[in-house]
Structure 1
Amino acid sequence: MEKKIFYSVFLFSFFILNCTPLFAQITELYDGKSYKKIFVETDNFGASYLDILEESFPLAKPDSVKFSILNDLAYYWHTRNLTKAMEFTKTGLALTKTSNDTLWEGRFQITEAAILLRKEKLDQAEKVLESAKCKVMEKDLAHLNTQLGYVYERRGKLGKAADYALEALRLGEKLNDNRAIAMAYSDLSNLFWKQSKFETGLEYGLKSLLLYEERRINDLDYDFTLFVVGSNYLSLGRHEEALNYLRHSIAIGERYGFYNNLSDAYMVMLDTYAYLNEFEKAEEAGSNALKYAELLDNNFLTMRSWLSIGNVKNLQGKYTSAIDCLEKSITIATDDFGDAFFLSQAYEALGKAHAGNHQYKEAYTALAKYDAYKAAVFTAEADNRTSLLRTEFDVAGKEVKIRSQEALISKQRTTQNLIIVIAGLLLLLLLISYKAIQNKLKANKMLEKQNKEKEFLLKEIHHRVKNNLEIVSSLLSLQAARIDDVYMLSTIQESQHRVQSMGMIHQKLYIGKNLAAVEMKSYFEQLGEYIIDAFAANEQVHLKVEMQNLELDVDLAIPIGLIVNELFTNSLKYAFPKGRKGKIRISLVEEKGKLKLEVMDNGIGKQLDTNTQGTGFGTQLVELLTKQLDGKMILKINQGTTVSIQFEPGKAA
């Protein structure tokens, strides 16, 4: 109760602080968001992650996540602490019965059977597995059959064990479950090794490792397969290769605490070093094998560890020590031990030790028991079954290969047909495209010819308009020559300037590249020079056009040209009296999406004043054109006159 209160306070404090990833991970585990199945979705975890799982599973939602976490914990701990593993399993079984979840009850039973196997309770394990068969899904049956295979392997019934391995393999292939296939290959590798068919055992072991390595998950069964492959290499006399696989197995086992695999691997490593006459390393490996067997409290591993140590003592000629070790091994293997294979090996080694110690009677007794156990394990039925199994695999493999090749040929034919169809379509498309391109080229040539004709016509029109405006200007000039009235003469000359400003626009259009737009900077320069020349003010007034090149539509250029003509003319007429010298600046720029026209002089500052000289027609014309452009005019008189007009670029006369 105190522990629960403390834990609740702990969680609340961390919620307030909101600064620890551990708390976030635990709370997310409650709804399964960050939970990853160990050795299925991840192998990147340490003891802290297991602590998190253990603390958080009571609050996990939904029940399926809670059961999965519990089963993970049971599965993990059954490799290092059978009592703790069984506690998690019993908790899971109780919860599944309460919630009437038969699926997860069956899955927990498979885990329970794995624990019972390590406790040497083979009959109970088989009974639990048979009960689970009707509860779990088809995808769980491969694992279930693997566990049943272990039961019969431990009983020394290798043929029956091979049948279950084959069934697991068929299920894995049916469901395309590479992990189940890898596990079946691993079990077959172990069974072939026990039947002294080492080449075949190695073949299936390596096939298993390839499938496991594709998953990129270092789990218990991958670790076990490394040990099995190492055993086959050792039996084939390939000692260095055996050591490489065993070291890999040990590295994974020590990373995750797989005590059973560690004990197995160290036993084979002991035998390897013994064959290499490296007895110090062999004795160290034997001590480690025994240590991990005792940590797991597993009689099967402890018995085999003493057996391996006894074999090394025999090789060293230390027969008395060998007898002690082998008798310990046999004593641990009680009547319900079940594994006749290793008992046969223990009695064979004991017989050799007694013979080496000149105790021939004891040696005879031990070897007689060896013969009895060997006969029970290596029966003709078991040997025939494994041989038949090998044949079945070879035939099945050839059939699969034939089907695979037939499928490949069919796929290649389909691909070839598809390529032919696509090639035909591409050829047709190419022909259509060629025809379309030809038609397009013809149309483009026709359009190009029409455009040139239209361009010529437009240039001719602008040329004629310009000529007509020059005629009007000339007529006005002739008319002015016959007028003596100064006021009327000024009016006609101003009209002549206006006509000339429009004529310049059309001149630029027909001599330029663009028939619809006028480059305004050069236009202002040409217009200014013309007006200055008309007023004979070349020595008096200096013009400066301060702007970048800017093209405007002809409909916009004409009213702007007229405005500039009026403002420029007014500056020449009124800003520089009595031969006063000065400057006139013109600019047209685009600012923030608007056009800004500015005409500035440094004269006396009196132009456009309606109370001064003139009729005021020029001022009215500027105001009218500004309004037509939807613009805004600003007049500034300060050491000269500045007229600014802002208007939209799209507005035209």
Structure 2
Amino acid sequence: MNRIVYFCKLPVNSSQIQPMIKSLLYFFIFLCSCQSIAQQINKRYIDSMLVSISRHDKEQVRSGMDELNIKLSSLPRVEANPLYQYLIEKAKDPFIKMIALGDLGGFLIANDAPDEAIGYLIKGLELSKNQGEIEDRFSFHVSLANAFIFQNRAEEALSHLNIAESMAVELKQTDAVASVNYSKGMMYESIEDFEQATTYYLKAWDTLNLVEDHPERGFYLFVLVDYFKRLGNIKEQTRFTELLANYYSKRQPEIPFTHLPTAHIFDTSATAENIKRYKDVIRVSDSMGAINSMMYSSLFLSNIYLKEGEPKAAIEVLQPLIRSLDSTDRRQQKMVLYEKLSVAYEANDDFKNALKFKNMVSQLRDTLVSEKTKRNIAELEVKYDLQTKERELEQQAASKKLLYWILGSVFVVLLILSVFFLKNRKKNQKLAQQKKLLEATVDEKNVLLKETHHRVKNSFQIVSSLLYLQSENMQDSEAQQAIKEAQNRVRSMVLIHQKLYNKDQLVGIDTKEYFHDLTREIFDSHQENGKMVNYTLHVESMLLDIESITPIGLILNELITNVLKHAYDVDDKDRKMEISFQKEGNRLILKVSDNGKGMPEHVRENSFGIKLMKALAKKLKATLQFKKASENGTIAILEVSRFNLLA
């Protein structure tokens, strides 16, 4: 699946990006396809391949699918597309189908059909979540991003690239990180954010540059030279042209200098703008000491002048190169320069100088061939002698080293195993005894704690029942109401111990669940027909210990009860209450608001409810305040500073 990343590294199909880069990539794909064995690809061949690879492990399946994809991708789209479709349809193994979907997606992107590719890549991505590795999912996300970039759908592309970036970090692979940054550069270039595009293109290069002789190095250098040329950044264009020239000369030193593919990047049209750009590059290259870049630009500019019938101008451009190259041993480049000067002088009817430089080319060529042959023979002889002697010495040293290593290793392993076995045996015995004791102690304490909560709950229930019986035998309505309020306070504590008894978690109460249950019970015991109060709760789920939740529950009981008793007149109809409880910073905030008639200016500080709330707030190191609402009603705010949050 990794091949999807590289085959999909195509520039954005927009007006800002030259079609030339895309042509170069198609050329690379064509070269790869040419390496496959010429063989007729048809449905029968695909059937035989499926039967063959389905018997092997995943790595062999990948290898077989790679071979098949190279052959299919070398065909014209009109022939390849139905064969890819047939492969996907006949692949019964989900793993093979996943790879085939990725191959077809990559092929369609490479053939300017990203809209068709997206559907196949999405199906492949779904399969990769169960069938593939993280590398497969990464490749699908990058391929989808590139397909969306082709369609100028930057937001969708960025979404996939962000996912791929997190995977690249997890993979810790240079190729993965560079691929994501490169695709992000393309995405930002497609929306003309050239500052961001430059940042990500350079990140991709810096990542790839960490690996010496990386196979993608030439590709990235091509892209960067072309990108900075189109951007008009002469300095960066010169720097990467120099790097590209050095890279290519090391990879293929036998290819004549003028055949370097860098020529495909440069525009040789005879426009005033183009000529000025070449002059700027030559000037900057000269100041930076970038001889390769200066050489390329001077040669291309001289070609323009020669085509325009201005050989004298061509000679003036090439002359400074003689001085620059005289101080170096770059004979290959000197040959190219002298050849071009010979042509320029001949076009200028200066046959004497034309012959002079032609002879200089001939002398250099003879020297290079002679020296090269002698050097190669001498190097081969030296390498053979050294290789023979080194092999003999290495064999002797390896034999001794292996013997010593085996003896030493056996002794050390036996010693370590003996010590480890003795220590581990004693330690395991002790740990087993401690674990058994701890488990018995914890189980015993849990049983006791659960039984304690059960008994406390039963005791509170008895108190609540006694209060209820007392209220039933009283004639005084105020006394009856006071007992009912006391019963509600007891109920709030009963609810806490009931929840602790009924759950495995014996040390904490979930605030959201507790507030909902407590509020419902309070409203059920107070509301009468025709006097309903609609309430809403916004409670953050937290786990508080019993010492924190008990006073908060009692205060909430008092606040709700006060609203139900005092906030509304008899004929009020649209009655609303809102309760919220959240953690803000290092505090817990409880708010109870209503749309009633509001609190009086002077609150009775000696009432039992107010005294109780203040006492409980003091225990929590909390502040309790009442405010008028913006329209009607009252807002009560409790800010708790002391609490124990368990989760």
* TM-score normalized with structure 1 length: 0.38
Larger CA Rg, structure 1 vs 2: 1
